[in-house]
């Protein structure tokens, strides 16, 4: 099986070999309008992940041995790709700095729809429309921004680094990892009501949530209840006490908006108690008090 066939067997829509040595995103059969598929071709090895269905990277190797000449070509191509990626990341950093400097601190329609009408963030007006900017950092250094429009559409800057990137609400408390910004706002509000300290890590994807958690000692996972099982799989891989909505397709903000802050806080309290008492791996589906 060649690399293209291998990628297709994982539901990724791909017709030709991608540039060597870099991760590239592609549509998937289950989400043809999104780019949930990621592939990295190295010549003598390849990596494939369908983010909609798995947090695990699948590894491809060719059926026949790779010649020394082919390996030499692959190494040169990978070095070139690495240089290009670093350049793109630096461009993205400078663009993020410019966008944040050009933004103002204000409310945003997306935040209002998510139940936080008074919440303010970095808002940049682009062609007469407000774009919410979520700074993304790795080890404290800015690497890019997530852009959220008024309808909730989200995207990153071209070429920016996303691996291990987070936005953090640091109240010097228990580590809490989650995917989305709105989810973090709901959890932060609940923790404040409970007068609990927190360090909330917005990770932007389930796969990245696993990477971020691997660098932390202990904590709590706020998982999305994805129909694909991606959020649940990420939580199980992390192995921390986990809160998750009792409805498929919901994240914590959806649950908060449906049942109200009091019920959400009561539900989250159970997971916090589990984390405090045992620190053991456990999945806790939301329960109505």
For the four alpha carbons of 71, 72, 74 and 79, in that order, the dihedral sign comes to: positive
pLDDT tens digits, one per residue of 49-67: 987 777 678 899 888 887 7
Cα within 13 Å of Cα(101), Cβ side: 7
Q: Is the pLDDT of residue 243 over 50?
A: yes
Q: Is the pLDDT of residue 73 over 90?
A: no
Q: Is the pLDDT of residue 98 over 80?
A: yes
Q: Is the pLDDT of residue 183 over 90?
A: yes
- Higher pLDDT, residue 54 or 244: 244
Q: Is the pLDDT of residue 287 over 60?
A: no
Burial of 64 (0-12, 13-18, 19+ CB in 10 A): exposed
> Is the pTM for the entire model greater than 0.75?
yes
Confidence of residue 288 (pLDDT cuts 50, 70, 90): low
Report helix, strand and coil shares of the chain as percent, to nearest 5: 35, 25, 40
pLDDT computed for residue 14 by the predictor: 96
d(CA 103, CA 97): 10
d(CA 92, CA 69): 35
Q: Is the distance from CB of 167 to CB of 182 less than 8 angstroms?
A: no
């Amino acid at each position: 099986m060649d690399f293209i066939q291998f990628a297709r067997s994982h539901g990724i829509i791909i017709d030709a070999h991608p540039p060597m040595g870099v991760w590239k995103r592609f549509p998937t059969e289950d989400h043809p309008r999104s780019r949930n598929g990621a592939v990295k071709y190295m010549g003598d090895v390849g990596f494939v992940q369908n983010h909609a269905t798995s947090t695990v990277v699948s590894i491809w190797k060719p059926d026949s041995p790779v010649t020394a000449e082919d390996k030499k070509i692959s190494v040169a191509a990978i070095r070139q790709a690495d240089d290009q990626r670093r350049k793109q990341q630096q461009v993205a950093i400078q663009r993020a700095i410019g966008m944040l400097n050009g933004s103002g601190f204000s409310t945003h329609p997306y935040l209002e729809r998510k139940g936080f009408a008074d919440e303010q963030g970095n808002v940049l007006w682009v062609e007469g429309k407000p774009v919410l900017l979520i700074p993304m950092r790795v080890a404290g250094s800015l690497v890019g921004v997530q852009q959220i429009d008024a309808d909730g559409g989200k995207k990153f800057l071209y070429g920016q680094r996303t691996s291990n990137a987070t936005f953090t609400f640091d109240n010097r408390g228990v580590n809490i990892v989650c995917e989305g910004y709105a989810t973090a706002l709901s959890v932060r509000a609940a923790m404040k009501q409970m007068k609990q300290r927190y360090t909330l890590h917005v990770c932007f994807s389930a796969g990245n949530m696993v990477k971020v958690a691997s660098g932390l000692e202990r904590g709590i996972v706020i998982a999305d209840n994805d129909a694909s099982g991606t959020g649940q799989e990420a939580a199980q891989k992390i192995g921390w006490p986990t809160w998750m909505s009792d409805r498929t397709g919901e994240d914590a903000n959806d649950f908060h908006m449906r049942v109200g802050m009091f019920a959400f806080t009561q539900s989250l309290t159970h997971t916090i108690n589990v984390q405090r008492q045992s620190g053991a791996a456990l999945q806790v589906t939301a329960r109505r008090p």
